[in-house]
Amino acid sequence: MCGIIGITGREDAVQGILAGLKRLEYRGYDSAGLVTNDGRDLRVTKRAGKLENLTRALDSQPMTTSTGIGHTRWATHGAPNDRNSHPHLDPSGRVAVVHNGIIENYQALKAGLGDVRFASDTDTEVTAHLVARELDAQDAPDLLLAVRRVVAQLRGAYSICFVAVDDPTTIVVAKHEAPLIVAHADGVGYCASDVAALIDHTRDVAALLDGQIARISPEGVEVFDVDGNEAEPHRYTVDWDLDAAEKKGYEHFMLKEIHEQPQAVHDTLLDRHTSPSPGEPPRLHLDELRIDERELARIDKVFIVACGTSLHAGMVGKLAIEHWAGIPVDVEVASEFRYRDPIVDPHTLVIALSQSGETVDTIAAASHARDQRAPVISIVNVVGSTLAREADGVIYTHAGPEVAVASTKAFTTQIVGTLLLGLYLAQVRGRMYATETADILTRLQQIPDAITQALNLDQEIRELAQRYHDVDYTMFIGRHAGLPIAMEGALKLKEISYLHAEAFPAGEMKHGPIALIEPGTLVIALAPAGHVFAKMVSNIQEVKARGASILAIGTDGSTADLKEHADHVLTLPEPPHELAGPVLSVIPLQLFSYHVATLRGEDVDQPRNLAKTVTVE
């Protein structure tokens, strides 16, 4: 949530900032603003609403300057209006700040300033006052020193950027529990909350670590700790290009990313086995793991922690790990994990799922596990992200940039990542012969082609969306591996169309949810062929008898029976393994949600009140 970009050292800094903010729109925001520094004064322009409001305001007061910082805000403290939009100034206009995160002790800091007038309701503004006060106390103004002293007082999560009139070519930034990237290329210094804002300019970037502060200028980037000692950030090279972050002819990013899933899953599965010796089967190999196989072989309990869509991927992972590796697994909402005193020890493996690797609840859960000396493996998409760096091992999903707020390709690749990890744990624990894991891995390679077949249902799904896009309530039901997909389908429909949707275990219908069924209720049933199919047919008959309209998602082996009971049946190819079925069965639900939302005229890529990366609790 929120977006930051800063530029120093190029005369068209304003245009560069606006372009960077445009690339950060997907993160979710409700206002935008920027400040420029020409050495005489700080000029702030900010507007509530979309970025075009800021652009129009700037058209009437064009700026030419080489240094500035910009921000897209997702409101936490204070209403989403012009007054609370970033940047914020101190009363004298000497210092400007933009900030992602929450300053938890801002009220106490404000009280310590005495009788000072504040121009906003935000937690952020106090930091501009504090830095200005530090500069006032110095004989020779030093913005880096002032920021270091202020940051030492802050409590909470923040990526925070300052400029000051005293030093018109410098940006000073600090980071704690919220992502911040710095870079330098061709005599220009940059900072941003997401590498997408910088991909126009450079692929060689550095992610600041918690507690680090950087001074950015046209001469370069210097990184320090809070005590002023030189420090080393995490440096890496971005492995995707600008085309990957463009729509490339699709009407929306979400539709593009739905159609990118065959390639994304292919890339997740790529190079996951060692070359065998003559006469031996290949062994599954996850080269980003940094945990000794003997340690993993001693694991007797697994927690999967995640939020939102990633939580549903973790539910599929639970089934795979318990089935293949024989280890009990609990799937936990990350925001609840550390507050309930979970029983975690060195023989407990914690698996943390996050597309961005910056989800603060998931990072906090993983950190709590490490404090208990439990090994942590993260499954993430963004290389170099906080969760990837801080875990003992990481499985990168290699899905490429996901711009739409509603996750699609990140979800399916996370499922594949959990399947790979389940197989790997089975391998190191001796639960499966090498020939068995090799056979399943070979079968998983068929998933991309099967996804392509599922995408061919698009026109049929569009017609169903046309029929049902005004239905007020939709119920999703499923069993076994179908239940997480039912939950994901309900979430997708809610988050981009704003319609009421719920998911239930199909076997629980008679224990309460069936009371919600009335004539005309749409029930979407996940009913692939498999060991629970007969039970699903019984549950479909229960809701059909109460007047519901049934849309069933079946497979080649279940379609004939489903047509006797459902109003509509979408037929998917048989998955290469039952536990891979969710990767296919979610495709129609993604497309259905997309078409319903577009028919209702909603903003599919940037749904209201939601952010792509949630970096505050």
**Would you please indicate which residues are annotated as catalytic (active-site) residues?**
2, 612
DSSP-derived secondary structure for 96-126:
EEEEEEEETTHHHHHHHT-S---SSS-SSHH
Q: What angle do CA 158, 390, 615 make, to 5 degrees?
A: 30
Task: Report the length, in residues, of the chain.
Answer: 617
CB atoms within 10 A of CB 9: 21
Residue 322 carries which DSSP code? I
Q: How far apart are CA 523 and CA 477, in angstroms?
A: 7
* Rounded distance between C-alpha atoms, residue 533 and residue 320, angstroms: 19
What six digits make up the tokens of 396? 């990168």
d(CA 40, CA 520): 66
Per DSSP, the chain holds a count of helices (H) and strands (E) of 20, 24
Tell me the C-alpha distance between 444 and 8, whole Å.
48
CB 602 within 8 A of CB 586: no
> What whole-number distance in Å separates Cα of residue 288 and Cα of residue 305?
19
Rounded to whole angstroms, the Cα distance separating 234 from 388 reads 11
Vertex 268 angle, CA 262 and 269, to 5°: 90
Asked whether 90 and 26 are in contact (CB, 8 A), the reply is no
Cβ atoms of 396 and 380 closer than 8 Å: yes
- Number of neighbouring beta carbons within 10 Å of residue 226: 17
CB distance 568 to 588 below 8 Å: no
* DSSP track, 491-541: HHHHHHH--EEEEEEGGGGGGTGGGG--TT-EEEEE--SSTTHHHHHHHHH
Q: Does an H or E element contain 592, and which?
A: helix 581-599
Pairwise CA distance, residues 243 & 173, whole Å: 29
